[in-house]
Chains A and B, each alone.
Chain A
Amino acid sequence: MIAGVIRLITGATARWVGCAPEAKQRIYFANHVSNLDFPVIWASLPRELRRRARPIGARDYWQPGPVRRFLATRVFNAILIDRTGFTAANNPLVAMEAALAEGSSLIIFPEGKRAREDEDNPFKPGLWHLAKKRPDVELIPVHLANLNRILPKGEVVLVPLLASVTFGEPIAPLAGEDKPTFLDRAQRAVADLAER
Chain B
Amino acid sequence: MNTALRDPELQAMVGVVVGVLLAGSIAGAVLRRTVKGESGARTVANLVARVRAWWLMVAIFLGALALGRGGAVALYGVISFLALREFISVFNTRFADHRTLFWCFFVAVPAQYWLVYDGWYGLWSIFIPVYAFLFVPIRSALRGDSRDFLARCAKIQWGLMACVFCLSHAPALLDLRIPGYEGESAKLLFLLVMICQLSDVMQYVCGKLFGRRKIAPNLSPSKTWEGFVGGVAVTTGIGAALWWATPFAPWQAAAFALLICLLGFAGGLVMSAIKRDAGIKDWGDLIGGHGGMLDRIDSLCFATPVFYHLVRWGFTG
Contacts and interface: CB of A to CB of B under 8 A. Distances in A.
Q: Do A and B come from one complex?
A: yes
Interface string B281-307: 000110000000000000000000000
A152 B285 CA distance: 25
Given A13-B285, A160-B105, A162-B284, A155 B98 contact: yes
A63 interface: no
Given A13-B285, A157-B102, A159-B102, A146 B89 contact: yes
Interface string B101-112: 110010000000
Given A11-B85, A13-B285, A146-B89, A159 B95 contact: no
A179 interface: no
Contacts, number: 36
A149 interface: yes
B interface secondary structure, majority: helix
Interface centre among A117, A146, A161 (most CB of B within 10 A): A161
Interface string B85-96: 110110001110
A116 interface: yes
Given A11-B85, A13-B285, A149 B105 contact: no
Interface in B49-96: 81, 85-86, 88-89, 93-95
Interface string A151-180: 010110111111000000000000000000
A126 B162 CA distance: 48
A196 B222 CA distance: 24
A149 B284 CA distance: 17
A156 B285 CA distance: 28
Contact of B93 (A149, A157, A162): A149
Interface residues of A, number: 16
A21 to B, nearest CB: 17
Given A13-B285, A149-B93, A160 B85 contact: yes
B99 interface: yes
B98 A149 contact: yes
Contacts of B95: 116-117, 148, 152, 154-155
Contacts of B93: 149
A101 to B, nearest CB: 39
B85 A152 contact: no
Interface centre among B98, B102, B285 (most CB of A within 10 A): B98
A158 B101 CA distance: 9
6 contacts: A116-B95, A154-B95, A159-B105, A160-B85, A161-B89, A162-B89
Given A11-B284, A149-B93, A160-B85, 4 more contacts: A117-B95, A146-B89, A157-B102, A158-B102
